[in-house]
Structure 1
Amino acid sequence: MNSHSAETVNPGTAVLWDYEDQGHDPISTRTLGFWLYMLSDAMIFAALFAAYAVYVHNPAGGPGAPDIVHPIYAMWETIVVFSSVFVYGLGMVALKRGNRAGLINALIVAFLLGLVFLGMEYKEFASLYFAGDNMQRSGFLSAYWTIVLTHGLHMVFGLLWMFIMILQVIREGFTQNVVYRLLNLRLFWHFQAVIWVCVFTFVYLKGAF
């Protein structure tokens, strides 16, 4: 007889408990595959950082890194990104407790903070574009635009994913597929924060001097 059958089970956590009763953990198995994807993504960013290291000293008569990067502005972007990651983590606590409303609220706040970050990046690159400092002007600007915008595109994808998960949690609750996707999104969102730390350090902080 199942040890949980005689207990009062919280509907929000019943699905999670059922996973522990199985002979294997299907969520962990599927999450491993997502880790492999992120390793390949990390290799892409490593190549972009290597290219940036080569081109950062080739402004070709155009502006160099000290002329266009703004570390203080990027610091505020960093605070916004980490705030979004922190709030998402609070959502995972709500998931563990079976608190659907708490998870939904956390996802909404994390989503809005991600939008703020993208808005700040849009403002930064719009000013560069209208000043004529687009990616065609020099090798350095090509590398700069590519590495920052590649991260930005990942953030866009993460926000689309987060929006879909909000709808799925509202409609389906904590099914196995929903929990699996939320856990993978947590890994993905944390990964974007780690990549942004690298961008902030090597592009904005180092480039300012």
Structure 2
Amino acid sequence: MSTHHAPTLDPSGFYVTGEHHTENGTLLGFWLYLMSDCLIFAVLFATYGVLNGSYAGGPDQKMLFDLPLIAVNTAALLLSSITYGFAMLEAHRGRKGAVIAWLVITALFGATFVGIELTEFHHMIGEGAGPWRSAFLSSFFALVATHGLHVSFGILWMIVLMVQTSKSGLTEQMTRRLSCLSLFWHFLDIIWIGVFTFVYLMGVLK
């Protein structure tokens, strides 16, 4: 006769199950990844802080940065964070179609952000202000392009989750994946606020 082992309580009062451990392991691993990403961006911010005045006779921030355009770009990314929040609300309500619709809107805002950033890079390089021109520009492109690559990866990840949600529905595993991407996407928003303030706004106003 098979024996049934009743679930035990951990010190916090929650039942310990295999699913409980899987969920905690996934979230813990993802938080560790985000902390490693924080270190990468901290190094890039520090590098820019040291080199942002090294123009080598080339253009400076006031000559290069189009602050109104960057403000539009910032608004697009911040709005994408709000729309992703709506997607998570619908996920917890079990509305698959609404989740996919909000994810599509979020991805479009993200694509707008990347498109404007690429336009800015193209214009700067066309003006002879590429990353090879000065230490300031090398540190600028390294920081901003790294963030842009993260946003591009987030859009790709979002598309994959849209396809998976469409096929398998809002399972517990799928909701957990959406939650991980939510953390990642909001993290990118926080980093961009730092970039906008420290790089663009302070660069133009100093």
TM over 0.5: yes
Q: Distance in 1 between matches of 2:196 and 2:50?
A: 18
Q: Distance in 1 between matches of 2:104 and 2:178?
A: 13
Q: Distance in 1 between matches of 2:173 and 2:56?
A: 51
The residue number in structure 2 matching 1:152 is 148
The residue number in structure 1 matching 2:57 is 61
Q: Residue 148 of structure 1 contacts residue 199 of structure 1 at CA under 8 Å; is this kept in 2? A: yes
Q: Distance in 1 between matches of 2:116 and 2:124?
A: 13
Question: What is the DSSP-based 3-state SS (H/G/I as helix, E as strand, rest coil) of the residue aligned with 2:132?
Answer: coil
Give the one of 84, 89, 101 matched to 1:88: 84
Tell me, yes or no, if structure 1 residue 135 matches structure 2 residue 131. Answer: yes
Q: Any residues of structure 2 matched to 1:36-185 within 5 Å, and which?
A: 36-185=32-181
Q: Distance in 2 between matches of 1:29 and 1:22?
A: 13
The residue number in structure 2 matching 1:189 is 185
The answer to which of 173-182 and 31-40 deviates more is 173-182
Q: Distance in 2 between matches of 1:28 and 1:93?
A: 21
Amino acid of the residue matched to residue 195 of structure 1?
I
The residue number in structure 1 matching 2:6 is none
Gaps of 5+ in 1: 1-19
The residue number in structure 2 matching 1:35 is 31
TM-superposition CA deviations, 1:178-204 (whole Å, max 9, x none): 222111000000000000000000000
Supply the RMSD in Å over aligned alpha carbons.
Answer: 1.4
- Displacement of 1:22 in angstroms is 6.8
Q: Distance in 2 between matches of 1:27 and 1:166?
A: 21
Q: Distance in 2 between matches of 1:46 and 1:22?
A: 37
Q: Distance in 2 between matches of 1:22 and 1:42?
A: 31
Q: Distance in 1 between matches of 2:15 and 2:93?
A: 18
Q: Distance in 1 between matches of 2:45 and 2:73?
A: 19
TM-score w.r.t. length of structure 1: 0.87
Q: Residue 27 of structure 1 contacts residue 176 of structure 1 at CA under 8 Å; is this kept in 2? A: no
Q: Any residues of structure 2 matched to 1:4-15 within 5 Å, and which?
A: none
- Displacement of 1:21 in angstroms is 8.1
The 4+ residue runs of structure 1 with deviation greater than 3 A are 20-24
Q: Distance in 2 between matches of 1:33 and 1:96?
A: 22
- Higher relative contact order by CA 8 Å / sep ≥ 6: 1 or 2? 1
TM-score w.r.t. length of structure 2: 0.88
- Displacement of 1:72 in angstroms is 1.8
Question: What is the DSSP-based 3-state SS (H/G/I as helix, E as strand, rest coil) of the residue aligned with 1:96?
Answer: helix
Q: Distance in 1 between matches of 2:103 and 2:24?
A: 22
The number of equivalent residue pairs is 190
Q: Distance in 2 between matches of 1:90 and 1:27?
A: 22
